[in-house]
């Protein structure tokens, strides 16, 4: 079975048996394809007699969301496995355990996390996750610091940058986040009632300047190894546990892109509350919880990142007074700008979010979409003037009060 082909459910059982020793030799295995993402096959393989289980994830040679007309490198399976292994080293317990990688078959066999829920779905169902800000700030601070020039050997980092080049998946991001939403591109997809809003977006040269600056950072600023697609669909969660999955977009890029992805997806959920909250009191409480999560994630991230720098910083000249403050101020600004860009793409670009798309009433959905666009565009436009996370919060708060 070593030549690449998309696996069937029964072949997933064969690879799970032959490439790992997770299962007891006695006892039948059951396999189900459960992938609901944009790109891959995901098989859940279990042994009912023992309760043991695992996941076989296989990259397809094209983007499933579009079809075979959009070819896509299988090398992303290697990138994903290697990123998971590095993330586990720096943020232990916050990613699934990798049991086996097969680059020829483009597959990763890993821990089954089906006792968790996908965070996007958990939020839609009204879940509260009291440990999330602590866990995600740990993940971000530790993976970003220890793969940056502040926290790892700078020559080894250059070699790692090479093995995480990931040009095809970066191109998806460059197009779908930093280009297509700002022109009348074929890949864009939005409700007819947003036509005027899209026209405004395409004509806004002040906005385009900021997008060009953010795009340049994404293209050139190899600051740290990013997850690269850290939305709430890439997070498995329970109130007690957080697991970050799916780093196939990993590459060395600007740190604020990962932090912004998390904040953007909380704010997209915030923008959808008129539908998902049962009444005005619940909506206000939910919005406060989401805003408080955004604040805590940044505040905890910043203090953890500074502590890692003080304790484990490897660069003598980076200890110069004032440099850490300068670095964190730029990182906050990048985070705010990327948060905005990640919101806008989910409203007018190719790939949307269920928090908003699943709102059935067009008028309520339109309000959530416009609120997301308003918050997103303001964050993009104001990112370079920002000095505090409270400025991002004010933008979200005041937009939702109108
Ligand atoms: C063609 S892939 C569309 C989107 O799905 C992934 O999760 C990334 O966010 C990508 O932009
Ligand atoms: Mg994904």
Residue-by-residue pLDDT tens, the chain, 402 positions: 779 999 999 999 999 999 999 999 999 999 999 988 778 999 999 999 999 999 999 999 998 878 888 899 999 999 999 999 999 999 999 999 999 999 999 999 999 999 999 999 999 999 999 999 999 999 999 999 999 999 999 999 999 999 999 999 999 999 999 999 999 999 999 999 999 999 999 999 999 999 999 999 999 999 999 999 999 999 999 999 999 999 999 999 999 999 999 999 999 999 999 999 999 999 999 999 999 999 999 999 999 999 999 999 999 999 999 999 999 999 999 999 999 999 999 999 999 999 999 999 999 999 999 999 999 999 999 999 999 999 999 999 999 987
Q: 246 and 125, same structural domain?
A: yes
DSSP string, 168-215: HHHHHHHHHTTTGGGTT-TT----GGGHHHHHHHHH-HHHHHHHHHHH
Residues having CB within 6 Å of any atom of ligand 1: 38-39, 63, 65, 172-173, 176, 229, 350-351
Helix (H, G, I), strand (E, B) or coil at 32: strand
- Domain with 87, as residue range(s), is 9-111
In a domain, 4, yes or no: no
Domain boundary among 78, 111, 144: 111
- Mutate which of 65, 261, 351, 357 to test ligand 1's pocket (most atoms within 8 Å of Cβ)? 351
pTM (predicted TM-score) = 0.97
Q: 141 and 101, same structural domain?
A: no
**C-alpha to C-alpha distance for 253 and 333, rounded to whole angstroms:** 15
Protein residues near ligand 2, an ion, with CB under 5 A: 37, 246
Domain boundary among 95, 111, 127: 111
Helix (H, G, I), strand (E, B) or coil at 41: strand
Domain boundary among 111, 144, 168: 111
Q: 181 and 269, same structural domain?
A: yes
SS3 letters across 117-128: EEHHHHHHCCCC
Q: 138 and 99, same structural domain?
A: no
Q: 199 and 330, same structural domain?
A: yes
**C-alpha to C-alpha distance for 356 and 124, rounded to whole angstroms:** 10
Q: 136 and 95, same structural domain?
A: no
**Which value does ipTM take for this structure?**
0.98
| 267, containing H or E segment | helix 255-271
Distance of CA 351 from the midpoint of ligand 1 (Å): 6
Whether the Cβ atoms of residue 58 and residue 105 lie closer than 8 Å to each other? yes
Distance, CA of 40 to chain centre: 16
In a domain, 3, yes or no: no
Beta bridge partners of 107: 58, 102
């Amino acid at each position: 079975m070593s030549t690449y082909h998309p696996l069937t459910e029964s072949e997933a059982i064969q690879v799970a048996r032959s490439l790992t020793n997770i299962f007891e030799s006695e006892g039948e295995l059951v396999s189900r394809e459960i992938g609901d993402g944009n790109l891959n096959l995901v098989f859940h393989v279990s042994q009912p007699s023992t309760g043991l289980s695992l996941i076989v994830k296989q990259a397809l040679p094209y983007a499933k969301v579009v079809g075979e007309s959009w070819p896509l490198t299988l090398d992303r399976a290697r990138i994903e496995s290697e990123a998971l292994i590095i993330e586990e080293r720096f943020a232990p317990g916050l990613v699934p355990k990798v049991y086996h990688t097969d680059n020829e078959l483009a597959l990763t066999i890993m821990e089954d996390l089906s006792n968790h829920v996908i965070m996007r779905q958990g939020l839609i169902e009204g879940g509260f996750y009291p440990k999330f800000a602590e866990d995600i700030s740990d993940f971000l601070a530790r993976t970003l610091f220890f793969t940056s020039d502040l926290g790892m050997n700078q020559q080894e980092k250059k070699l790692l940058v090479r093995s995480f080049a990931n040009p095809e998946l970066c191109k998806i991001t460059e197009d779908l986040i930093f280009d297509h939403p700002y022109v009348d591109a074929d890949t864009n997809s939005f409700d007819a009632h947003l036509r005027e809003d899209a026209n405004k977006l395409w004509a806004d040269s002040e906005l385009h300047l900021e997008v060009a600056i953010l795009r340049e950072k994404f293209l050139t600023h190899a600051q740290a190894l990013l997850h690269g697609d850290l939305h709430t669909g890439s997070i498995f969660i329970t109130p007690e546990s957080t697991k970050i999955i799916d780093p196939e977009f990993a590459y060395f890029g600007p740190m604020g892109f990962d932090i912004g992805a998390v904040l953007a997806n909380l704010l997209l959920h915030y923008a959808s509350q008129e539908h998902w909250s049962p009444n005005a009191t619940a909506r206000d409480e939910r919005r406060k919880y989401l805003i408080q999560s955004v604040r805590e994630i940044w505040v905890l991230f910043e203090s953890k990142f500074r502590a890692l720098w003080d304790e484990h910083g490897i660069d003598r000249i980076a200890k110069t007074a004032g440099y850490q403050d300068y670095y964190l101020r730029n990182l906050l600004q990048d985070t705010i700008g990327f948060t905005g860009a990640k919101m806008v793409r989910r409203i007018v670009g190719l790939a949307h979010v269920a928090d908003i798309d699943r709102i059935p009433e067009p008028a309520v959905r339109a309000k959530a979409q416009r609120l997301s666009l308003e918050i997103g565009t303001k964050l993009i436009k104001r990112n370079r003037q920002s000095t505090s996370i409270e400025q991002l919060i004010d933008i979200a708060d005041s937009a939702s009060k109108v």
